[in-house]
Amino acid sequence: MSQATTGIVVKQTGPLALVQDAGRFGIRHLGVTQGGAADWISFRWANWLLGNPLDSAALEIVMGGGLTLEVERATRLALAGADLAATLDDVPLTPGTSFSVRAGQRLVFRQPLAGLRAYLAFPGGLDAPQVLGSRACTARERLGGLHDDGQPLIADDRLTWPGEAPAERRLTKGQGTRMPESGCRLSLVPGAQVAHFSGVSLYRAFNLPWQVDNRADRMGVRLTGPALRCSLRGMVSEGIPLGAVQVPADGQPIVLLNDRQTIGGYPRLGALTPSACAALAQCLPGTEVRLAPQSPGQAQEAHLRQLAAWQD
Protein backbone atom coordinates (compact mmCIF):
# COMPACT_ATOMS: atom_id res chain seq x y z
CA MET A 1 0.00 0.00 0.00
CA SER A 2 1.08 3.59 -0.63
CA GLN A 3 1.39 6.03 2.27
CA ALA A 4 -1.82 7.71 1.10
CA THR A 5 -3.80 4.50 1.65
CA THR A 6 -2.16 3.34 4.88
CA GLY A 7 -2.85 4.73 8.29
CA ILE A 8 -4.64 3.12 11.22
CA VAL A 9 -7.01 0.16 11.02
CA VAL A 10 -9.95 -0.38 13.37
CA LYS A 11 -9.55 -3.86 14.86
CA GLN A 12 -12.33 -3.68 17.45
CA THR A 13 -15.05 -1.10 17.94
CA GLY A 14 -16.25 0.49 21.16
CA PRO A 15 -19.69 1.92 22.02
CA LEU A 16 -19.27 5.04 19.86
CA ALA A 17 -16.34 6.45 17.91
CA LEU A 18 -17.26 9.24 15.50
CA VAL A 19 -15.44 11.49 13.07
CA GLN A 20 -16.11 15.04 14.25
CA ASP A 21 -14.95 18.53 13.38
CA ALA A 22 -16.27 21.95 14.37
CA GLY A 23 -19.71 21.19 12.89
CA ARG A 24 -22.05 22.55 10.22
CA PHE A 25 -23.17 26.15 10.23
CA GLY A 26 -25.50 28.22 8.10
CA ILE A 27 -27.74 25.27 7.17
CA ARG A 28 -30.22 24.93 10.06
CA HIS A 29 -32.91 26.57 7.90
CA LEU A 30 -32.72 23.32 5.91
CA GLY A 31 -33.51 21.29 9.03
CA VAL A 32 -29.90 20.02 9.30
CA THR A 33 -28.40 20.12 12.76
CA GLN A 34 -25.01 21.50 13.79
CA GLY A 35 -23.15 18.35 14.83
CA GLY A 36 -19.47 18.66 15.65
CA ALA A 37 -17.35 17.82 18.69
CA ALA A 38 -19.45 17.78 21.86
CA ASP A 39 -16.51 18.90 24.01
CA TRP A 40 -15.25 21.50 21.55
CA ILE A 41 -12.58 22.69 24.00
CA SER A 42 -10.82 19.31 24.32
CA PHE A 43 -11.25 18.81 20.58
CA ARG A 44 -9.39 22.07 19.91
CA TRP A 45 -6.59 21.18 22.31
CA ALA A 46 -6.07 17.85 20.55
CA ASN A 47 -5.63 19.65 17.24
CA TRP A 48 -3.45 22.35 18.84
CA LEU A 49 -1.04 19.71 20.08
CA LEU A 50 -0.34 18.74 16.46
CA GLY A 51 -0.29 22.27 15.07
CA ASN A 52 -3.46 21.54 13.06
CA PRO A 53 -6.10 24.11 12.17
CA LEU A 54 -8.30 23.97 15.26
CA ASP A 55 -11.38 22.82 13.31
CA SER A 56 -9.62 19.81 11.73
CA ALA A 57 -11.53 16.52 11.77
CA ALA A 58 -10.62 14.21 14.66
CA LEU A 59 -12.01 11.12 16.35
CA GLU A 60 -14.50 11.54 19.21
CA ILE A 61 -14.37 8.41 21.38
CA VAL A 62 -17.17 7.84 23.89
CA MET A 63 -16.66 5.54 26.90
CA GLY A 64 -13.78 3.63 25.26
CA GLY A 65 -15.25 0.16 25.58
CA GLY A 66 -12.34 -1.71 24.04
CA LEU A 67 -11.89 0.35 20.88
CA THR A 68 -8.70 -1.04 19.35
CA LEU A 69 -6.70 0.69 16.60
CA GLU A 70 -3.67 -0.84 14.84
CA VAL A 71 -1.03 1.46 13.41
CA GLU A 72 0.18 0.88 9.84
CA ARG A 73 2.63 3.78 9.50
CA ALA A 74 4.65 5.91 11.86
CA THR A 75 3.33 9.32 12.83
CA ARG A 76 2.51 11.55 15.81
CA LEU A 77 -1.00 11.61 17.30
CA ALA A 78 -2.54 13.71 20.05
CA LEU A 79 -5.02 12.82 22.77
CA ALA A 80 -7.17 15.22 24.80
CA GLY A 81 -10.35 15.19 26.87
CA ALA A 82 -11.47 12.26 28.99
CA ASP A 83 -9.16 9.67 30.49
CA LEU A 84 -10.47 6.44 28.97
CA ALA A 85 -7.58 4.32 30.23
CA ALA A 86 -5.94 4.49 26.80
CA THR A 87 -2.77 2.48 26.21
CA LEU A 88 -0.25 2.15 23.42
CA ASP A 89 1.07 -1.43 23.47
CA ASP A 90 -0.16 -1.62 27.07
CA VAL A 91 1.71 1.55 28.10
CA PRO A 92 -0.73 4.13 29.57
CA LEU A 93 -1.30 7.37 27.65
CA THR A 94 -2.00 10.66 29.38
CA PRO A 95 -4.71 12.95 27.93
CA GLY A 96 -3.41 16.37 26.94
CA THR A 97 -0.29 15.03 25.22
CA SER A 98 0.97 14.08 21.77
CA PHE A 99 2.86 10.84 21.21
CA SER A 100 4.70 8.98 18.48
CA VAL A 101 3.42 5.70 17.05
CA ARG A 102 5.05 3.19 14.71
CA ALA A 103 3.75 0.44 12.46
CA GLY A 104 2.41 -2.59 14.30
CA GLN A 105 1.53 -0.85 17.55
CA ARG A 106 -1.95 -1.05 19.05
CA LEU A 107 -3.88 1.77 20.65
CA VAL A 108 -6.67 0.63 23.00
CA PHE A 109 -9.34 2.63 24.86
CA ARG A 110 -10.95 0.83 27.79
CA GLN A 111 -13.20 2.55 30.35
CA PRO A 112 -13.76 6.07 31.70
CA LEU A 113 -11.52 7.01 34.60
CA ALA A 114 -12.37 10.70 34.32
CA GLY A 115 -14.79 12.21 31.83
CA LEU A 116 -16.72 10.61 29.02
CA ARG A 117 -15.32 11.72 25.63
CA ALA A 118 -11.73 11.56 24.40
CA TYR A 119 -10.45 13.22 21.23
CA LEU A 120 -7.75 11.65 19.06
CA ALA A 121 -6.20 14.03 16.52
CA PHE A 122 -4.16 13.23 13.40
CA PRO A 123 -1.62 15.29 11.44
CA GLY A 124 -3.58 17.59 9.13
CA GLY A 125 -6.91 16.12 10.31
CA LEU A 126 -8.71 12.90 9.45
CA ASP A 127 -9.54 12.21 5.81
CA ALA A 128 -13.30 12.04 5.26
CA PRO A 129 -15.77 13.41 2.68
CA GLN A 130 -16.88 16.99 3.26
CA VAL A 131 -20.67 17.32 3.16
CA LEU A 132 -22.44 20.67 3.57
CA GLY A 133 -19.17 22.20 4.69
CA SER A 134 -18.26 19.64 7.35
CA ARG A 135 -17.00 16.10 7.94
CA ALA A 136 -18.92 15.77 11.22
CA CYS A 137 -21.00 12.63 11.82
CA THR A 138 -24.69 13.24 12.52
CA ALA A 139 -26.54 9.94 12.79
CA ARG A 140 -30.10 11.26 12.38
CA GLU A 141 -29.32 12.98 9.07
CA ARG A 142 -26.94 10.18 8.02
CA LEU A 143 -24.32 12.74 7.11
CA GLY A 144 -20.57 12.85 7.54
CA GLY A 145 -18.01 10.37 8.76
CA LEU A 146 -15.69 8.08 6.83
CA HIS A 147 -18.43 6.82 4.52
CA ASP A 148 -20.80 9.83 4.53
CA ASP A 149 -23.48 7.85 6.35
CA GLY A 150 -23.21 9.46 9.78
CA GLN A 151 -22.30 6.14 11.37
CA PRO A 152 -19.61 5.34 13.95
CA LEU A 153 -16.47 3.43 13.10
CA ILE A 154 -16.78 -0.26 12.37
CA ALA A 155 -14.20 -3.06 12.29
CA ASP A 156 -11.78 -2.85 9.34
CA ASP A 157 -12.35 0.86 8.78
CA ARG A 158 -9.08 2.57 7.87
CA LEU A 159 -8.20 6.03 9.16
CA THR A 160 -5.89 8.16 7.00
CA TRP A 161 -4.62 11.73 7.20
CA PRO A 162 -2.83 14.14 4.85
CA GLY A 163 -0.11 15.55 7.12
CA GLU A 164 3.33 14.48 8.22
CA ALA A 165 4.39 13.87 11.81
CA PRO A 166 4.78 17.35 13.36
CA ALA A 167 7.22 18.58 15.95
CA GLU A 168 6.17 17.90 19.53
CA ARG A 169 4.07 20.54 21.28
CA ARG A 170 3.34 20.51 24.99
CA LEU A 171 0.69 22.11 27.12
CA THR A 172 1.90 24.47 29.81
CA LYS A 173 0.46 24.66 33.30
CA GLY A 174 -3.11 25.96 33.14
CA GLN A 175 -3.66 24.92 29.53
CA GLY A 176 -5.81 21.99 28.46
CA THR A 177 -9.08 20.87 29.98
CA ARG A 178 -10.00 19.55 33.41
CA MET A 179 -12.74 16.99 33.61
CA PRO A 180 -15.83 18.15 35.55
CA GLU A 181 -16.27 16.83 39.06
CA SER A 182 -19.51 16.22 40.95
CA GLY A 183 -21.08 19.51 41.94
CA CYS A 184 -19.65 21.41 38.97
CA ARG A 185 -21.38 24.68 38.03
CA LEU A 186 -22.81 25.08 34.53
CA SER A 187 -23.22 28.71 33.49
CA LEU A 188 -26.62 29.47 31.97
CA VAL A 189 -27.78 32.67 30.28
CA PRO A 190 -31.46 33.13 31.25
CA GLY A 191 -33.79 34.01 28.43
CA ALA A 192 -36.53 32.76 26.17
CA GLN A 193 -39.49 31.90 28.47
CA VAL A 194 -37.73 32.26 31.86
CA ALA A 195 -40.25 34.89 33.06
CA HIS A 196 -43.07 32.34 32.73
CA PHE A 197 -41.59 29.99 35.35
CA SER A 198 -42.80 30.35 38.92
CA GLY A 199 -40.56 31.99 41.51
CA VAL A 200 -40.31 28.70 43.37
CA SER A 201 -39.20 26.94 40.20
CA LEU A 202 -36.53 29.54 39.48
CA TYR A 203 -35.23 29.23 43.03
CA ARG A 204 -35.06 25.46 42.64
CA ALA A 205 -33.43 25.69 39.21
CA PHE A 206 -30.50 27.79 40.43
CA ASN A 207 -30.13 26.74 44.07
CA LEU A 208 -30.68 22.99 44.16
CA PRO A 209 -28.51 20.24 42.65
CA TRP A 210 -29.35 18.32 39.49
CA GLN A 211 -28.18 14.90 38.40
CA VAL A 212 -27.16 13.88 34.89
CA ASP A 213 -29.65 11.22 33.85
CA ASN A 214 -28.71 8.07 31.95
CA ARG A 215 -30.92 9.36 29.14
CA ALA A 216 -28.13 11.36 27.58
CA ASP A 217 -26.59 11.41 24.12
CA ARG A 218 -25.32 13.86 21.51
CA MET A 219 -28.85 15.25 21.02
CA GLY A 220 -29.44 16.18 24.64
CA VAL A 221 -28.91 15.48 28.32
CA ARG A 222 -31.79 15.13 30.76
CA LEU A 223 -31.27 16.53 34.26
CA THR A 224 -33.23 15.03 37.12
CA GLY A 225 -34.22 16.92 40.25
CA PRO A 226 -37.11 19.08 41.49
CA ALA A 227 -39.96 19.54 39.02
CA LEU A 228 -40.03 22.99 37.39
CA ARG A 229 -43.36 24.58 36.51
CA CYS A 230 -44.10 27.01 33.69
CA SER A 231 -47.37 28.91 33.15
CA LEU A 232 -47.23 28.56 29.36
CA ARG A 233 -49.63 25.94 28.05
CA GLY A 234 -48.79 26.07 24.35
CA MET A 235 -46.02 27.46 22.18
CA VAL A 236 -45.22 27.85 18.51
CA SER A 237 -42.03 25.95 17.73
CA GLU A 238 -38.95 28.15 17.46
CA GLY A 239 -35.26 27.82 16.68
CA ILE A 240 -33.13 25.98 19.22
CA PRO A 241 -29.56 27.11 19.97
CA LEU A 242 -26.76 24.99 21.35
CA GLY A 243 -27.24 24.50 25.10
CA ALA A 244 -30.94 25.39 25.13
CA VAL A 245 -32.54 24.19 28.39
CA GLN A 246 -36.03 22.97 27.54
CA VAL A 247 -38.51 22.03 30.24
CA PRO A 248 -41.21 19.56 29.10
CA ALA A 249 -44.42 18.81 30.99
CA ASP A 250 -42.73 16.55 33.56
CA GLY A 251 -40.67 19.52 34.77
CA GLN A 252 -37.29 17.84 34.24
CA PRO A 253 -34.93 19.99 32.13
CA ILE A 254 -33.31 18.73 28.94
CA VAL A 255 -30.13 20.44 27.75
CA LEU A 256 -29.94 20.26 23.97
CA LEU A 257 -26.50 19.62 22.49
CA ASN A 258 -24.82 19.32 19.10
CA ASP A 259 -27.16 16.83 17.40
CA ARG A 260 -30.34 18.54 18.65
CA GLN A 261 -33.40 19.16 16.52
CA THR A 262 -33.41 22.58 14.83
CA ILE A 263 -36.78 23.75 16.26
CA GLY A 264 -38.74 22.97 19.43
CA GLY A 265 -41.91 23.94 21.25
CA TYR A 266 -41.14 23.46 24.95
CA PRO A 267 -40.51 26.50 27.20
CA ARG A 268 -36.87 27.24 27.91
CA LEU A 269 -35.03 28.59 30.92
CA GLY A 270 -32.34 29.91 28.60
CA ALA A 271 -29.13 28.33 27.29
CA LEU A 272 -25.89 27.01 28.71
CA THR A 273 -22.76 28.84 27.62
CA PRO A 274 -20.51 27.05 25.08
CA SER A 275 -17.98 26.18 27.80
CA ALA A 276 -20.74 24.78 30.01
CA CYS A 277 -21.93 22.62 27.10
CA ALA A 278 -18.41 21.23 26.73
CA ALA A 279 -18.30 20.44 30.46
CA LEU A 280 -21.72 18.76 30.41
CA ALA A 281 -20.63 16.61 27.45
CA GLN A 282 -17.98 15.12 29.76
CA CYS A 283 -20.34 14.32 32.66
CA LEU A 284 -21.08 10.68 33.29
CA PRO A 285 -24.63 9.66 34.30
CA GLY A 286 -25.15 10.33 37.99
CA THR A 287 -22.84 13.35 38.08
CA GLU A 288 -24.24 16.18 40.20
CA VAL A 289 -24.33 19.60 38.52
CA ARG A 290 -25.64 23.04 39.44
CA LEU A 291 -27.01 25.71 37.13
CA ALA A 292 -25.49 29.15 37.62
CA PRO A 293 -27.13 32.22 36.00
CA GLN A 294 -24.83 34.45 33.97
CA SER A 295 -25.49 37.63 32.04
CA PRO A 296 -24.93 37.75 28.26
CA GLY A 297 -22.03 40.14 28.79
CA GLN A 298 -20.36 37.85 31.31
CA ALA A 299 -20.87 34.86 29.03
CA GLN A 300 -19.34 36.70 26.08
CA GLU A 301 -16.30 37.79 28.09
CA ALA A 302 -15.74 34.24 29.35
CA HIS A 303 -16.05 32.85 25.82
CA LEU A 304 -13.55 35.35 24.43
CA ARG A 305 -11.09 34.42 27.19
CA GLN A 306 -11.47 30.77 26.26
CA LEU A 307 -10.87 31.50 22.56
CA ALA A 308 -7.76 33.48 23.46
CA ALA A 309 -6.22 30.32 24.94
CA TRP A 310 -5.28 29.10 21.43
CA GLN A 311 -3.67 32.32 20.24
CA ASP A 312 0.08 31.86 20.03
Amino acid 39: pLDDT: 98
Average pLDDT over every residue of 14-28: 94
Burial class for 154, CB neighbours closer than 10 Å (0-12, 13-18, 19+): exposed
Are 210 and 288 in contact by the 8 Å Cβ rule? The answer is: yes
pLDDT in tens, 252-308: 999 999 999 999 989 999 999 999 999 999 999 999 999 999 999 999 999 999 999
Amino acid 192: pLDDT: 81
Average pLDDT over every residue of 222-230: 96
Lowest mean pLDDT among 30-34, 52-56, 241-245: 30-34
Average pLDDT over every residue of 4-22: 93
Residue 4 clears pLDDT 70, i.e. is over it: no
Q: Is the dihedral of CA 148, 149, 151, 157 positive or negative?
A: negative
Residue 19 pLDDT grade (very low, low, confident, very high; cuts 50, 70, 90): very high
Are 283 and 213 in contact by the 8 Å Cβ rule? The answer is: no
Q: What beta strand segments (E) does 84-126 contain?
A: 87-88, 91-92, 97-101, 106-109, 114-121
Mean pLDDT computed over every residue of the chain: 94
Rounded Cα gap, residues 284 and 181, in angstroms: 10
Amino acid 104: pLDDT: 97
Residue 61 clears pLDDT 70, i.e. is over it: yes
Structural domains of the chain in order of their starting residue, each with its CATH number: 3-159 (no CATH), 184-308 (2.40.100.10)
Q: Is the dihedral of CA 198, 246, 216, 293 positive or negative?
A: negative
Distances (CA, A) of 191 to 15, 58, 216, 245, 278: 36, 33, 23, 10, 20
Amino acid 138: pLDDT: 94
Partner residues linked to 188 by β-bridges: 272, 293
Amino acid 236: pLDDT: 87
DSSP for 254-299 reads EEE-TT--SEE-S-EEEEE-HHHHHHHTTPPTT-EEEEEE--HHHH
pLDDT in tens, 97-112: 999 999 999 999 999 9
Amino acid 102: pLDDT: 97
